[in-house]
Amino acid sequence: DAGVIQSPRHEVTEMGQEVTLRCKPISGHNSLFWYRQTMMRGLELLIYFNNNVPIDDSGMPEDRFSAKMPNASFSTLKIQPSEPRDSAVYFCASSFWGSGANVLTFGAGSRLTVL
Amino acid sequence: ELKVEQNPLFLSMQEGKNYTIYCNYSTTSDRLYWYRQDPGKSLESLFVLLSNGAVKQEGRLMASLDTKARLSTLHITAAVHDLSATYFCAVDIPPQGGSEKLVFGKGTKLTVNP
């Protein structure tokens, strides 16, 4: 298995532009998580899905952020409009819920810079 | 709201020395995870602790869990440079809607000096 695949790996954009981050979870995993990592705030959970259904989006900072999981093999995190304070590394992770342990496999991350 | 606190946040130690990283959490949970992150890289799972008293060891690292004290420790024995990384603990929040979410501590950045 290729693991959790994220794209793009790096994105530089200007304030006000729309940003879409993509994630392909591990085949067979039924839970998907979006985290954001910054020096100041550490690793924050933004939203997670179980069986493609959003379970908890309380970590989404504001309405500018949205996430979708249209099927078991694809998820997107969208920021519109983007702001400089959104600059961070965004990680997608997946796991198999029901195995007795919730061990997350992380993607390589998408480093977002908003100018 | 679940809080997960690690200390220290920064640790600089000499090769060959021993040290312990602590992870405290604020709510009842019997599932705790340790992850490692190398600079500029993603997070990798190190240990999965699923019950009170659980102890796991891998090389120079040993993790333990005391659910009554809501405390996990990551003990480093005879540190080597290759252990330099940031170590995170994470705790499961009880299931909602058939799944669980992990809340991470802020991480402990470990630097092992020759």
B contact residues 80-99, partner A, Cβ 8 Å cutoff: 88, 90, 92, 96-99
Question: Exposed (0-12), middle (13-18) or buried (19+): which is B3, by Cβ within 10 Å?
Answer: exposed
Confidence of residue A82 (pLDDT cuts 50, 70, 90): very high
Q: Which of B26, B29, B47, B41 is nearest to B105 (CA)?
A: B26
| A30 has a pLDDT exceeding 80 | yes
Q: Output DSSP code: residue B42.
A: -
The type of residue at B22 is: Y
What sign does the CA torsion over B12, A41, A70, A23 have?
A: negative
Angle at B9 between CA B40 and CA A86, to 5 degrees: 50
Question: In chain B, pLDDT over 70 holds for what percent of residues?
Answer: 95
Mutate to test the interface with B, among A29, A102, A110, A111 (most CBs of B within 10 A): A102
Put simply, the answer to whether A102 touches B45 (Cβ < 8 Å) is no
Give residue B114's pLDDT.
87
Q: Does B38 touch chain A (CB under 8 A)?
A: no
CB contacts, 8 Å: B42 with chain A: 91, 106-109
Confidence of residue A78 (pLDDT cuts 50, 70, 90): very high
Give residue B56's pLDDT.
96
Pairing verdict, β B108-113 and B10-14: parallel
| B98 has a pLDDT exceeding 60 | no
Give residue A71's pLDDT.
95
- The CA distance from B74 to B87, in Å, is 9
Tell me what the mean pLDDT of segment A46-50 comes to: 93
* A66 and A20 Cβ atoms separated by less than 8 Å: no
CB contacts, 8 Å: A106 with chain B: 42-44
Pairing verdict, β A110-114 and A10-13: parallel
Residue A84: asked if its preceding bond is cis (omega within 30°), the reply is no
A contact residues 57-86, partner B, Cβ 8 Å cutoff: none
Q: In angstroms, what separates the C-alpha of A70 from chain B's closest C-alpha?
A: 18
* B4 and B105 Cβ atoms separated by less than 8 Å: yes
Confidence of residue A20 (pLDDT cuts 50, 70, 90): very high
Q: Which of B74, B26, B69 is nearest to B49 (CA)?
A: B74
